[in-house]
């Protein structure tokens, strides 16, 4: 009998009960705006910022409307504007180059390795073309961060980290987001904490933090932030920094605070499921499992594998066959983007040069989510289905 999978790749776990209770409290008092507080009250948003700063070891934290807004705010806060070039990954999601375009800047794409991290040799070759790198830890893959920072420091390149897929991850014990000038995180539904939409920005740079707070729309109420620099820093920047409103509200902050407290336990659950999938896909002819380096503490909320040098129609056939058995996989090599599978040559608002080595990787890249609504046994079943269909198609193609 042919096995099928009936779970949903887009269904998340419920908001925890203490998050629901906190949200109801906000709804009952009605003070959803982060600066609308009763006398002596600390807003949920300010508390969230304080707690996330402590959790990551950062001096400052700002909660905003989305991860994309956090990235654009960080770019503005370090002085990026119209016409400036910004280095970034060729393998990433559309909000990353989108945040660069939103400030009028131009992305310069850096290649991807078979480990699905930024190509550090290509970065070293291109480092002189821009003064900022917006580094995407795409799909949770961390590169050799010591080498990356050495390259950027030598070239005078400021690093901003896109940590949408690496909240809770670390490289050699240093949390993702704590290597560069700023780390930007997403709280969108499919990320590691879920407020529907939302973002967080962390930094140790006091002027970057002050500019970011004002950019987010503080209306000079920056004293109501618990994880921000002192008023003297705001005095230096408040009249030359525009308000580009993108604050987080207290309702979203209320449901995020309990989720952040549970993050380490959730990471362990994701990685247990990831390990079951990875084990089921190993030693399969035609399929390359992406090995994770020992220095990396990753969060296995999704898994990727490579069907390197396969014909496009053959990869597409695998994707169709697994879908028919309930396993929804995304392929980055299709002629047209589907959902989140757009790539550097899809973003036609920005110029790009030919990148044959990167094209080879993306042409064989397959990706699937691992929601925590899946059990470990579900993941073993998914691996068996993928294994069956890859074997059938690869054997037929051979």
Q: C-alpha distances in angstroms, 173 versus 261, 328, 329? A: 19, 33, 31
Looking at residue 213, the DSSP 8-state letter turns out to be H
- Distance of alpha carbon 89 from alpha carbon 134, whole angstroms: 8
- What pLDDT, on a 0 to 100 scale, did the predictor assign at position 177? 98
Q: Which residues contact 138 (CB under 8 A, 6 or more apart)?
A: 89, 91, 92, 93, 112, 116, 162, 165
User: Tens digits of per-residue pLDDT, 279-290?
Assistant: 999 999 999 999
Determine the average pLDDT of the residues in 151-158. Answer: 98
Alpha-carbon distance 368 to 390, whole Å? 15
CA distance 228 to 373: 36
CA distance 397 to 379: 27
Cα–chain center distance at 32: 26
Averaged pLDDT for residues 82-95: 97
Residues listed for the chain: 398
* pLDDT tens-digit series, residues 42-57: 999 999 999 999 999 9
Q: Which two tokens stand for residue 331?
A: 């392929």
Per-residue confidence at 397, pLDDT binned at 50, 70, 90? low
pLDDT band at 342 (very low <50, low <70, confident <90, very high): confident
pLDDT at residue 229 greater than cutoff 60: yes
Give the β-pairing of 199-203 and 60-64: antiparallel
Q: What is the mean pLDDT of the chain?
A: 96
Task: Give the pLDDT mean for 356-362.
Answer: 96
pLDDT band at 340 (very low <50, low <70, confident <90, very high): confident
Report the C-alpha gap between 135 and 127 in whole angstroms: 12
Residues 6+ positions from 107 with CB-CB distance below 8 Å: 85, 86, 87, 88, 97, 100, 101, 134, 347, 350
Quote the CA–CA distance of 63 and 247 in Å, as a whole number: 7
- Residue whose pair of structure tokens reads 């362990």 in the numeric block: 268
CA-CA distance, 191 to 166, in Å (whole number)?
9
Share of the chain above pLDDT 70, in %: 99
For residue 396, what pLDDT is reported? 66
251 class by beta-carbon count within 10 Å (0-12 exposed, 13-18 middle, 19+ buried): buried
In whole angstroms, what is the distance from residue 349 CA to residue 43 CA?
Answer: 40
Q: Compute the radius of gyration of the chain from its Cα atoms.
A: 21
Task: Provide mean pLDDT across the span 79-103.
Answer: 97
What six digits make up the tokens of 243? 């308000």
Handedness of CA 79, 83, 89, 91 (dihedral sign): positive
Per DSSP, the three-state class of 289 is strand
Residue 398 has pLDDT above 60, yes or no: no
pTM given for the model: 0.97
Helices 250-261 and 263-281 cross at an angle (nearest 10°) of 70
Is 48:257 a contact under the CB 8 Å cutoff?
Answer: yes
Mean pLDDT of 340-367: 92
pLDDT digits (tens, 9 = 90+) for 290-330: 999 999 999 999 999 999 999 999 999 999 999 999 999 99
Tokens 């193609």 correspond to 397
Hey, what domains does the chain have and what are their CATH numbers? 17-261 (3.40.640.10), 263-397 (3.90.1150.10)
User: In the prediction, which pLDDT does 395 show?
Assistant: 79
């Amino acid at each position: 009998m042919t096995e099928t999978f009936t779970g949903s790749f887009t269904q998340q776990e419920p908001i925890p009960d203490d998050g629901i209770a906190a949200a109801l409290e906000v709804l009952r008092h009605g003070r959803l705006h982060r600066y609308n507080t009763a006398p002596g009250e600390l807003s949920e948003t300010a508390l969230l910022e304080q707690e996330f700063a402590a959790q990551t070891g950062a001096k400052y934290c700002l909660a905003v409307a989305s991860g994309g807004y956090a990235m654009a705010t960080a770019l503005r806060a370090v002085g990026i504007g119209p016409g400036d070039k910004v280095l970034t990954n060729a393998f990433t999601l559309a909000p990353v180059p989108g945040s660069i375009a939103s400030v009028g800047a131009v992305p310069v794409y850096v290649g991807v390795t078979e480990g699905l991290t930024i190509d550090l040799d290509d970065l070293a070759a291109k480092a002189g073309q821009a003064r900022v790198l917006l580094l995407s830890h795409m799909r949770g893959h961390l590169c050799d961060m010591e080498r990356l920072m050495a390259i950027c420091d030598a070239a005078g390149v400021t690093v901003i980290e896109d940590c949408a897929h690496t909240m809770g991850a670390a490289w050699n014990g240093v949390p993702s987001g704590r290597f560069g000038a700023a780390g930007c995180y997403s709280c969108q539904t499919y990320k590691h904490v879920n407020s529907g939409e939302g973002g967080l920005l962390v930094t140790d740079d006091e002027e970057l933090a002050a500019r970011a707070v004002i950019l987010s729309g503080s209306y000079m109420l920056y004293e109501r932030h618990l994880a921000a620099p002192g008023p003297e820093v705001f005095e230096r920047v408040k009249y030359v920094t525009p308000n580009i409103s993108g604050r987080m509200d207290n309702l979203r902050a209320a449901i995020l605070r309990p989720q952040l407290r549970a993050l380490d336990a959730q990471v362990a659950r994701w990685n247990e499921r990831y390990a079951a999938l990875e084990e089921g896909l190993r030693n399969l002819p035609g399929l390359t499992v992406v090995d994770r380096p020992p220095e990396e503490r990753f969060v296995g909320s999704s898994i990727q594998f490579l069907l390197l040098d396969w014909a496009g129609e053959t990869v597409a056939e695998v994707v169709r066959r697994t879908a028919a058995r309930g396993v929804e996989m995304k392929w980055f090599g299709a002629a047209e983007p589907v959902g989140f599978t757009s790539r550097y040559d899809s973003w036609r608002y920005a110029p790009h040069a030919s990148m044959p080595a990167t094209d080879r990787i993306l042409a064989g890249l397959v990706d699937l989510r691992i929601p925590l609504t899946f059990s470990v046994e579900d993941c073993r079943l998914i691996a068996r289905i993928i294994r069956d269909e890859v074997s059938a198609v690869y054997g037929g193609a051979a």
